[in-house]
C-alpha cells in the first residue's frame, strides 16, 4: 500500500468523485493541499481573486451540470469569505463541497493565527459539515460529504481540514475508496407513496381549475420531460418559480411564466382562482405567496417534495407526496388520464391577452428591451446568470428559457454579486455555450474582481450590465412605499465600465441606443477567448411590474400604468379592456365552492 | 385550502431523538431550535446502552404544526437517527431534582414528612438546610417545589425530563 499524505489522499478522493475543477485560493493552512496540487494533473485548479468568487463559481458549475461543485480556501478569513457563497447554495439546494483549511488540531480553540470556528459558523448554512481530526478519516468523510451534497435534497457540505491532518502520512490503498457510502441515519426517500400518488391522480381528475406550480426541485431532479408530459396530457397550465424556470420550455403554450411578487399577472390570477394547486418541488417562499391566508385560497394542495420538512412548513397540504420529483411524476403519469382543455384554460388565456408582459417600444433603451434583444440574438439558447435586483426580475420575465439549468440565479438568499463568478463556473463546465451574465451596476461591483479570473482562463462570458446608475430595486421600493425618499441608492459614481474592462484585459463596450444592442451582442458572441463587458445605459426611474408588494395579496397587485395603451401594441383583437376587469377576476370564482 | 400553516393552540410535547454520539451534535440540535425559533422547555442528553448513540429528550412547546416541523427538521439533521414524539405513544416521563431548602429546627419535621409523602430523600443536612433528592414526573416535582417554597428554596437543580415508551416498544 502506498504511503500518502492527507493532502494526497484528499486529492485522490476528489479525483474518484469525478471532480474536474477546484475553485480556490491558497493560504497557510492549506499549503499541503496546494503542494499536492502542484503536480496533480487530473484536477484543474482555478485561482480566483476572492474566496466568495470561488464559492459562487463552484455553485454555478453545479447548477449548470448537476454535479457537485468544489471550492477550497484556507482557514480564518478565507473560510468566512466563503460564507455568503455557501449560504447561497444552501438556500437554493445546490450540491457543493467546500473544503477549508484549519489550524493544527493542537491549536484549535487557542485563538491561533487565522483560526475561526468554520464548523460553528457554517452549521446553519450547510446541509452538514465535518471537522476532520485524523488523516485516516479523510476517505470516509470525503465520500460522505459528496454523497450528502448530491443526494436527497442537495446542499452544501463543508469539510474543515486541520493542517496536521493534511500533513499526516498513512498507508492507504486508493482502490478502497467507497463512493456513496451507506449512512444509516441518512436515507432520503425517492419513491413516492403509491396511495398518495393515486389520490393525487384522482384530485387531478376531479379538479375544475387545476394549476401546476413548479419549483427548483423539478430542475434539480431533471423532470422537464415529466412536467411537460403531465401538462400536455391534462392541459394543466404551468407556472414556475424563479428557481423552476426551465422546468417547462417557457415558449411552450402551456407555460405561464413566473408567479409571485414580480410574476406575470396571468400566472398570479390563475393561482389565485385555482381549485387545485399542484406544487412540484417548490417551497411556498414568501416572494411567491405574498400574504399567506390569501394565497391560492380556494385550492386543494398537492405537494410533491423530496424534503418531508417542506410539506406543511408554510401552507396546509391536502395530499403530501414525499419523493424525488421526477420519480413521483413518472408514477403519477401512470394514473393520470388525458383531460381536455376547458373553459378554465380559455379563461387564463384571456387573462394572458389582457395582462401581457409588455414594455414601451418608444425608441428609448429600456432594460426590458435590452433583455428581450439578448434573448432574440441568442435565440433563447444562452445560459443566463444574474445578480440580484431589478435586472434579475426583468431577466426572469423576459429571458424565456427552453430547458432546465439554463437560468442560474440566487433565488433564496438573493446574493448580489452572484452573476459574474457563477457565469465563470458555468462557462468552465460548458465551454461551447454562450454564457451571459445579466447584471446590475450594483451587483457587478460586488464581485468585479473575478473579471480577472475570466480573463486569465480565457473565458468568453458576456456581462450585460443593465446600468441604471442606481440600486434600482431599493429605489423602486423607496419610490412606491417610502414616499420617494431616495436614501443611499444613487450609484452615479461608478467606474467607467468600458475602461474597467480594458484595465482587466477584457473587452468593454457601451451601448446607449436601442439599435446598437443587437450588433454589440453579436460582436460579444463572436469573442471566444475573452470576457466582454457591455455597459447598457438604461433609464434610471423605471420599475419592475407587475408587483405584489411584500406580504400583500394579489388584490394589491400593481400593473404598469401604461398597460392599457401598450396592450394595444401587442393585441389587436380590438377587445375592450380596462383596469376595472381586475376586480371581476378576483371575484369571479368566489361563489364557486371552496374546499371545505 | 392553502393558507397560513402557523396557527392553532400551543401545547407541550416530549420528543426523544436518538443521535450519533459525535462532538457537536448537541450544538446542531440546539442551533436548530434557536435558528427556527422553536421554544425548548428542557433538554436532557446522555449516552445510551450503545456507546455510539446518545439519547436526547426534548420538551418543546408549540402548536401542532410547529411540533410537526420540529420533528421533521430534527430528522433532517444527518446525525439524528430517529425521532419519537411521545404524544402518539404512552410513555413514562421522569425527572430528577435536587432542592436545597431552608430547614429551621421548627420546620424540620414538617419538611421531612412532606418529603416522605413525595418519596423524596434528604441527602445532606446542615444546621440551616436540607438537600432533598426527588424523582418523578415534572408535575410532581413542580408540586413539591411549591410546597417547599414557603420554607425558602435556596437552590434547585432539575435534570430535565427523560422519557421512555411503556411495554416492549423502543425508540
Ranges of each domain in chain B: 11-85, 92-165
For residue B4, name the pLDDT band (cuts at 50, 70, 90): low
Average pLDDT, chain A: 95
- Grid cell 368566489 is found at A590
Query: What kind of architecture, by CATH, is found in domain A3-176?
Result: 3-Layer(aba) Sandwich (3.40)
Kindly list the residues of chain A whose beta carbon comes within 8 Å of any beta carbon in chain B.
119-120, 123-124, 127-128, 131, 148, 183-186, 277, 292-293, 295-301, 307-309, 312-316, 594-595
Which chain A residue shows the shortest CA-CA distance from B36? A124
Among candidates A185, A295, A595 on the partner chain, residue whose Cβ is nearest the Cβ of B79: A185
- CATH 3.40.50.1220 domain locations along chain A: 194-354
**Residues from chain B contacting residue A128 (CB–CB below 8 Å):** 77-78
- ipTM above 0.85 for this complex: yes
CATH fold of A367-537 reads: Rossmann fold (3.40.50)
Kind of pairing between the strands at A407-408 and A383-386: parallel
Q: What is the CATH number of domain B92-165?
A: 3.30.70.1150
| Contact between chains at A312 and B68 (C-beta distance less than 8 A) | yes
Residue A594 has pLDDT above 50, yes or no: no
For residue A588, name the pLDDT band (cuts at 50, 70, 90): confident
For residue A565, name the pLDDT band (cuts at 50, 70, 90): confident
Task: Measure in Å the smallest separation between the Cα of A370 and chain B Cα atoms.
Answer: 38
- CATH 3.40.50.970 domain locations along chain A: 3-176, 367-537
| Contact between chains at B75 and A123 (C-beta distance less than 8 A) | no
The span from the CA of A574 to the CA of A572, in Å, is 5
Which cell goes with A545? 411590474
Residue B9 has pLDDT above 50, yes or no: yes
| Contact between chains at B20 and A185 (C-beta distance less than 8 A) | yes
pLDDT in tens, B32-58: 999 999 989 999 999 999 999 999 999
Percentage of chain A lying above the pLDDT 70 cut: 97
Q: Is B37 on the interface with A (CB under 8 A)?
A: no
Residue B1 has pLDDT above 60, yes or no: no
Q: Which long-range contacts (CB under 8 A, 24 or more apart) does A313-316 make?
A: A313/A283, A313/A284, A313/B5, A313/B69, A313/B72, A314/A283, A314/A284, A314/A289, A314/B5, A315/A284, A315/A289, A315/B2, A315/B3, A315/B4, A315/B5, A316/B1, A316/B2, A316/B3, A316/B5
Q: Is B3 on the interface with A (CB under 8 A)?
A: yes
For residue B89, name the pLDDT band (cuts at 50, 70, 90): low
Task: Measure in Å the smallest separation between the Cα of A4 and chain B Cα atoms.
Answer: 27
Largest CA distance in chain A: 82
Would you say the CATH fold of B92-165 matches that of B11-85? yes
**Nearest partner of A434 among A442, A443, A426, A446, judged by Cα:** A426
| Beta carbon pairs, A and B, within 8 Å | 69
Q: For Cα atoms A239, A242, A244, give the angle at the middle one, nearest 5 degrees.
A: 60
pLDDT in tens, A185-201: 999 999 999 999 999 99
Which chain B residue shows the shortest CA-CA distance from A309? B72
For residue B86, name the pLDDT band (cuts at 50, 70, 90): confident
CATH class belonging to A194-354: alpha beta
| Contact between chains at B2 and A277 (C-beta distance less than 8 A) | yes
- Grid cell 391534462 is found at A234
Average pLDDT, chain B: 92
Give yes or no for a contact between A445 and A535, defined as CB atoms under 8 angstroms apart: no
**Residues from chain B contacting residue A299 (CB–CB below 8 Å):** 1-2
Task: Measure in Å the smallest separation between the Cα of A119 and chain B Cα atoms.
Answer: 9
Which chain B residue shows the shortest CA-CA distance from A306? B76
Task: Measure in Å the smallest separation between the Cα of A492 and chain B Cα atoms.
Answer: 39
Q: What pLDDT sits at residue A70?
A: 98
**Residue to test with chain A: of B1, B38, B48, most A Cβ within 10 A:** B1
- Return the CATH superfamily for domain B11-85: ACT domain (3.30.70.260)
Which cell goes with A69? 461543485
**Nearest partner of A166 among A105, A114, A221, judged by Cα:** A105
Q: Is B28 on the interface with A (CB under 8 A)?
A: yes
Residue A596 has pLDDT above 70, yes or no: no
DSSP-derived letter for residue A595 is P
| Contact between chains at B3 and A299 (C-beta distance less than 8 A) | no
Amino acid at each position: 500500500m502506498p504511503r500518502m499524505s492527507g493532502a494526497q489522499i484528499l486529492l485522490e478522493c476528489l479525483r474518484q468523485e469525478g471532480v474536474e475543477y477546484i475553485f480556490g485560493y491558497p493560504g497557510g493552512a492549506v499549503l499541503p493541499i496546494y503542494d499536492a496540487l502542484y503536480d496533480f494533473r487530473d484536477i484543474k485548479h482555478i485561482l480566483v481573486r476572492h474566496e466568495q468568487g470561488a464559492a459562487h463559481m463552484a455553485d454555478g458549475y453545479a447548477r449548470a451540470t448537476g454535479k457537485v461543485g468544489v471550492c477550497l480556501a484556507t482557514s480564518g478569513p478565507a473560510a468566512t469569505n466563503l460564507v455568503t457563497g455557501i449560504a447561497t447554495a444552501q438556500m437554493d439546494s445546490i450540491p457543493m463541497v467546500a473544503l477549508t483549511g484549519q489550524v493544527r488540531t493542537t491549536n484549535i480553540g487557542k485563538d491561533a493565527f487565522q483560526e475561526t470556528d468554520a464548523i460553528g459558523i457554517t452549521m446553519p448554512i450547510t446541509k452538514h459539515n465535518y471537522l476532520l481530526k485524523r488523516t485516516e478519516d479523510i476517505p470516509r468523510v470525503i465520500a460522505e460529504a459528496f454523497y450528502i451534497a448530491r443526494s436527497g435534497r442537495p446542499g452544501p457540505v463543508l469539510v474543515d481540514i486541520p493542517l496536521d491532518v493534511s500533513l499526516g502520512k498513512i498507508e492507504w490503498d486508493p482502490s478502497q475508496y467507497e463512493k456513496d457510502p451507506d449512512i444509516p441515519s441518512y436515507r432520503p426517500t425517492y419513491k413516492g407513496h403509491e396511495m398518495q400518488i393515486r389520490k393525487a391522480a384522482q384530485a387531478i381528475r376531479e379538479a375544475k381549475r387545476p394549476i401546476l406550480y413548479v419549483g427548483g426541485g423539478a430542475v434539480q431532479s431533471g423532470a422537464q420531460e415529466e412536467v411537460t408530459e403531465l401538462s400536455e396530457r391534462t392541459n394543466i397550465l404551468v407556472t414556475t418559480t424563479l428557481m423552476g424556470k426551465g422546468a417547462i420550455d417557457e415558449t411552450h403554450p402551456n407555460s405561464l411564466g413566473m408567479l409571485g411578487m414580480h410574476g406575470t399577472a396571468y400566472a398570479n390570477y390563475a393561482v389565485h382562482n385555482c381549485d387545485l394547486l399542484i406544487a412540484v418541488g417548490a417551497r411556498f417562499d414568501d416572494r411567491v405567496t405574498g400574504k399567506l391566508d390569501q394565497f391560492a385560497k380556494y385550492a386543494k394542495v398537492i405537494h410533491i417534495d423530496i424534503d418531508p420538512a417542506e410539506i406543511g412548513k408554510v401552507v396546509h397540504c391536502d395530499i403530501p407526496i414525499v419523493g424525488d420529483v421526477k420519480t413521483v411524476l413518472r408514477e403519477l403519469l401512470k394514473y393520470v388520464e388525458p383531460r381536455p382543455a376547458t373553459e378554465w384554460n380559455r379563461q387564463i388565456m384571456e387573462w394572458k391577452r389582457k395582462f401581457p408582459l409588455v414594455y414601451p417600444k418608444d425608441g428609448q433603451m429600456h432594460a426590458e428591451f435590452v433583455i428581450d434583444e439578448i434573448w432574440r440574438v441568442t435565440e433563447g439558447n444562452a445560459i443566463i446568470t444574474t445578480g440580484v435586483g431589478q435586472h434579475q426580475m426583468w431577466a426572469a420575465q423576459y429571458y424565456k428559457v427552453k430547458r432546465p439549468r439554463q437560468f442560474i440565479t440566487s433565488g433564496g438568499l438573493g446574493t448580489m454579486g452572484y452573476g459574474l463568478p457563477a457565469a465563470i463556473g458555468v462557462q468552465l463546465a460548458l465551454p461551447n455555450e454562450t454564457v451571459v451574465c445579466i447584471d446590475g451596476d450594483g451587483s457587478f461591483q460586488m464581485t468585479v474582481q473575478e473579471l480577472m479570473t475570466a480573463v486569465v482562463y480565457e473565458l468568453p462570458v458576456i456581462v450585460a450590465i443593465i446600468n441604471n446608475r442606481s440600486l434600482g430595486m431599493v429605489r423602486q421600493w423607496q419610490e412606491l412605499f417610502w414616499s420617494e425618499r431616495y436614501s443611499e441608492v444613487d450609484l452615479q459614481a461608478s467606474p467607467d465600465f468600458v475602461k474597467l474592462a480594458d484595465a482587466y484585459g477584457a473587452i468593454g463596450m457601451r451601448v446607449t441606443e436601442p439599435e446598437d444592442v443587437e450588433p454589440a451582442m453579436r460582436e460579444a458572441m463572436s469573442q471566444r477567448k475573452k470576457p466582454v463587458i457591455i455597459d447598457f445605459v438604461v433609464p434610471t426611474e423605471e420599475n419592475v411590474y407587475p408587483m405584489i408588494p411584500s406580504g400583500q395579496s394579489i388584490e394589491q397587485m400593481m400593473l404598469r400604468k401604461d398597460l392599457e395603451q401598450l396592450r394595444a401594441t401587442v393585441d389587436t383583437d380590438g377587445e375592450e379592456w380596462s383596469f376595472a376587469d381586475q376586480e371581476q377576476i378576483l371575484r369571479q370564482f368566489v361563489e364557486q365552492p371552496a374546499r371545505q | 385550502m392553502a393558507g397560513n400553516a402557523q396557527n392553532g393552540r400551543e401545547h407541550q410535547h416530549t420528543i426523544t431523538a436518538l443521535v450519533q454520539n459525535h462532538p457537536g451534535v448537541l450544538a446542531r440540535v440546539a442551533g436548530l431550535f434557536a435558528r427556527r425559533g422553536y421554544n425548548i422547555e428542557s433538554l436532557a442528553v446522555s449516552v445510551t446502552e450503545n456507546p455510539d448513540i446518545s439519547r436526547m429528550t426534548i420538551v418543546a412547546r408549540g402548536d401542532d404544526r410547529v411540533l410537526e416541523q420540529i420533528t421533521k427538521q430534527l430528522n433532517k439533521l444527518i446525525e439524528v437517527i430517529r425521532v419519537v414524539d411521545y404524544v402518539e405513544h404512552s410513555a413514562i416521563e421522569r425527572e430528577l431534582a435536587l432542592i436545597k431548602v431552608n430547614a429551621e429546627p421548627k420546620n424540620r419535621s414538617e419538611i421531612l414528612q412532606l418529603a416522605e409523602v413525595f418519596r423524596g430523600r434528604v441527602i445532606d443536612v446542615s444546621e440551616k438546610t436540607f438537600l432533598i433528592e426527588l424523582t418523578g414526573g415534572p408535575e410532581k416535582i413542580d408540586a413539591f417545589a411549591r410546597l417547599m417554597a414557603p420554607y425558602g428554596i435556596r437552590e434547585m437543580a432539575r435534570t430535565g425530563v427523560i422519557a421512555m415508551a411503556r411495554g416492549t416498544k423502543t425508540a
